[in-house]
Chain A
Amino acid sequence: MVSEQTVTSAQIWDWLEAVPDPEIPVISVVDLGIIRYVDVDSELVKVTITPTYSGCPAMSVIAMDIETELSKRGVSNLQLETKIAPAWTTDWLSEKGRARLEEYGIAPPQAAGGPERCPHCQSVKVDKVSQFGSTPCKAQWRCQDCLEPFDYFKCI
């Protein structure tokens, strides 16, 4: 049992690194950039989350996973808050998260609006198949060289 007085916000951030995005489990909720603040005082640990897409069904699972992880670490008095402003942007993805996405086969977001290269063979000859994909945060693309389809993490 961790006494609330001894836990630091740095520790909480560290523990949140162990909570994966349920839809893209190679990155953590911290990499995804949805954890905005962690406030720790003598009584309470407060974690503020900004949702990715307003209708993203993963958000309630994420909240539950955070609760489970932190209670496993002994945090008994947790308050989860949702904050929609400023709106989440893919600029908040961590560098580590971007690299992990690419290793996993998902092209990371680019300001130009499309993937920089195929995550499988690094070819730059890529085409859009659909502006949307298997989850709200992704679009479908394909590679003209290796002919493989791949997900692209939409830039918003």
Chain B
Amino acid sequence: MSGEINHLLEFLLRQGDNTLVLGHRTSEWCGVGPALEEDIALANTALDLIGQTQLWLGYAAEVEGKNRSANDLAFLRDPYDFRNVLMMEVPNEDFGRTLMRQFLFDAFQVPWLTELQNSTNQRVSEIAAKSLKEALYHLERSRETVIALGDGTEESNKRMQATLDYLWPYTGELFGEDTTDQAMSAQGIAPVPSTLKNAWKTLVSRAFSEAYLKAPESDFAHSGGRTGFRHTEHLGHMLATMQTLQRSYPGATW
């Protein structure tokens, strides 16, 4: 068995690590949001994402069968064991980039979770149905905010365009296709993500035209996160903060 990839486990880690890393990044805004309402909205979004993480990683831990929990997977793995797309781990930078990233992800997550509801794997379908309700709500807000900032002042438009140019090359990885994706598709557990690209593009293009923003033409995509082949330097720094308590005081509870 050793050396053979457990595709279902890989798939579940990809789901749970996306929501975990984005959830943690989003939680970095807690207490420093640009306005009280935004601070609360960011904290609540982070909470939803961490809740979804518990479901995905909880199931991943069962499938792994090594007697580990969702918490163990979150707090005791090293950067190269993470399977999130790179876009999730880049720093927040500013409110604009944080909300643009949220929008680019939500616009993927809504059609993706919609499909996963039909998974032949009952657990996957249940987690997807639960998460989808939250993702729809997130999309409503991230879309509105991207449009408001794009169609805001000259300064806000300029910064949103710059952030879109920066994040765009990270979006391609959402639509990867490798042996795990093919295995999931063959078993009816999940569609191959690349089949969702058109739905995603339509959704984001419509918002960008309302926001007076222009998506870059290039299809160049950074990758390596969802396979664990190569993360950015940022993930290690983020995990150093996120994991410090469990690393320093193993098994600490409160």
Instruction: Determine which of B40, B49, B55 lies in contact with A132 in the assembled complex, contact meaning CB atoms within 8 Å.
Output: B40
Name the A residues within 8 Å of B52 (CB-CB). 54-55
Contact A55 B129 (CB under 8 A): no
Q: Are the C-beta atoms of A133 and B133 separated by less than 8 Å?
A: no
A53 within 8 A of B: yes
Residues of B contacting A130 in the complex (Cβ-Cβ under 8 angstroms):
37-38, 40-41
Shortest Cβ gap from A33 to chain B (Å): 14
A86: chain B residues within 8 A (beta carbon): 129
B8: interface (CB < 8 Å): no
Please classify the interface of chain B as helix (H, G, I), strand (E, B), loop, or mixed, using the class held by over half of its residues.
helix
Q: Is B210 an interface residue (CB 8 A)?
A: no
Which A residues touch B134, using CB under 8 A? Answer: 53-54, 156
Most buried by B among A86, A132, A154, A156: A132
| 0/1 string, A81-96, CB within 8 A of B gives 1 | 0001111010000000
By a beta-carbon cutoff of 8 Å, the part of chain A in contact with chain B is: 51, 53-57, 84-87, 89, 129-134, 136, 140, 154, 156
Q: Which residues of B contact A (CB under 8 A)?
A: 37-38, 40-41, 43-45, 47-52, 54-55, 125-127, 129-131, 133-134, 137, 140-141
16 cross-chain CB contacts under 8 A = A54-B52, A55-B48, A55-B49, A55-B51, A56-B47, A85-B125, A86-B129, A87-B129, A130-B38, A131-B41, A132-B40, A132-B41, A132-B43, A132-B45, A134-B40, A136-B48
Given known contacts A54-B130, A84-B126, what 7 new A-B pairs fall within 8 Å (CB)?
A53-B51, A53-B134, A56-B51, A87-B126, A89-B133, A132-B37, A132-B41
